[in-house]
Amino acid sequence: MRGLIRKESLQIIRDPSSIGIAFFLPVMLLLLFGYGVSLDARDVAIALVVEQPGPETSSLISGFYRSEYFAPRVMFSIQQAERAMMERRVDGIVWLRSDFARQLRSGGRAPVAVIVNGVDANKARLLQGYVNGVWLQWLSRTSAELGRPLHIPIKVEQRIWYNPAVRSRNYLVPGLIAVIMTLIGAMLTSMVVAREWERGTMEALLVTPVRVKEILLGKIVPYFILGMGGMLLSVVMAIFLFHVPLRGSLAALTLASALFMLTAIAMGLLISTAAGTQFVAGQVAIVITFLPAFILSGFVFDIGSMPIGIQWVTHLVPARYFVAIVQTIFLAGDVWPIFFVNCGWLALMAAVFFVIIRKKSHKRLRI
């Protein structure tokens, strides 16, 4: 038993690529995501088409220049702006026609056209929201200046809990930890059993007195330690480099991570046992770990808004439970109902995986 763990550990140490994936990958990904990925648009390029400049138009335009969300460019014809949009140089157009000032003064509901590039619909939505913000500020000021102050019947007051500055990094980084841990756990282990079969060393192992349980345990322990190391590194980076607040307890985080790591490793071993060859194991690992963890875990895309059939599918993605736990522990604290429900699912998945692995390995050993 100890010998097996030693052998597996040696194999990890001698092949630097698995150590690489356990430590280099979290660091690289967290850096890329933390610094590189944000859903908060800043400095969106927009074209401001001013057909006839005047004091009214310049007050609206300066509103756009002051806003941190826009990088405006003034143009003088709509054709020029439309061409810029086709060539993807701007993402939106604000069009003030030549009679804008006249209509404004005469109280004739001066129209301002806003055209957004809908190819990236999410960004277009956010852009519309930002334009609205600038617009409403300008409107209430201008109405007051014109002597007809705007009456606002209902005013929306927002309190954003857990993430008052609405930093997308605060939820992307914890979610990313879950994605990375899926990769590490499942990817690293997915090939280990297949490798033994392909190289013929599994048969050598079979003639020794070790039992199936011991072989499996010997494979789990080193990768578990490796994965927890990567986890620790990611958490440290999240807190100290990206300043994501950790409001829950470290104990809860550790417990959930350990449970998740076991599930991920179990998934990897299952792939490995079922696949037979390293090629197939590798493909399957890519297909059922990275992309589902990225898309179906609720890490970026909201699960509640998916069609009901797909929501069922997400229950098969272990990362889904871990994303919920990690985002909550980081941003909201130890919320026990969330913690226990999701941990329960993880434990169930791990148990099912291990039972299947036991059955599969057993049969093979008897052949």
Partner 1 sequence: MILMLRRIFSLMIKEFRTLLTDKKSRMVLIVPPVAQLIVFGYAASFELNHINYVVFNEDRGVESRKLLSGFAGSDVFVRYGTIGHNAEIAPLLDTTKALMVLHIGQQFSEDLHRGRPAPLQIIIDGRNSNTAMLALNYVREIVLSFNENWTRRHGGARAPAVLMQRSWFNATLDSHWFIIVGIVALLNLVVTLEVTALSVAREREAGTFDQLLVTPMTPFEVLVGKSLPGLIIGALEGTFIITLIVLWFHVPLRGSIPALYLGLFIFLLSAIGIGLMISSLSVTQQQGLMGAFLFMVPAVILSGFATPIENMPQFVQTLTYLNPMRYFLIIVRSVFLQGASFDLLWSQYWPMLLIGLVNLSVAAVLFRKRMY
Rounded least distance, CB 274 to partner 1, Å: 9
**Closest to partner 1 by CB, 210 or 338:** 338
Dihedral over Cα of 121, 124, 126, 129: its sign:
negative
**Closest to partner 1 by CB, 131 or 216:** 131
Round to whole Å and give the CA distance between 361 and 173.
37
**Closest to partner 1 by CB, 77 or 277:** 277
Which residues make Cβ contacts (< 8 Å) with residue 161, sequence separation at least 6?
Answer: 332
**Closest to partner 1 by CB, 13 or 86:** 86
Asked if 180 and 234 count as a contact pair (C-beta separation under 8 A), the reply is: yes
**Closest to partner 1 by CB, 296 or 350:** 296
DSSP output for 49-82: EESS--HHHHHHHHHHHHSTTEEEEEES-HHHHH
Rounded least distance, CB 178 to partner 1, Å: 13
State whether residue 48 is helix, strand or coil: strand
Round to whole Å and give the CA distance between 188 and 264.
10
**Closest to partner 1 by CB, 209 or 304:** 304
Round to whole Å and give the CA distance between 260 and 346.
6
Rounded least distance, CB 130 to partner 1, Å: 10
Rounded least distance, CB 126 to partner 1, Å: 7
Round to whole Å and give the CA distance between 146 and 138.
12
State whether residue 138 is helix, strand or coil: helix
Rounded least distance, CB 105 to partner 1, Å: 8
Rounded least distance, CB 350 to partner 1, Å: 23
The two structure tokens encoding residue 205: 């192992």
Please provide residue 76's backbone torsions phi and psi, each rounded to the nearest 5 degrees. -110, -5
Rounded least distance, CB 238 to partner 1, Å: 14
**Closest to partner 1 by CB, 166 or 232:** 166
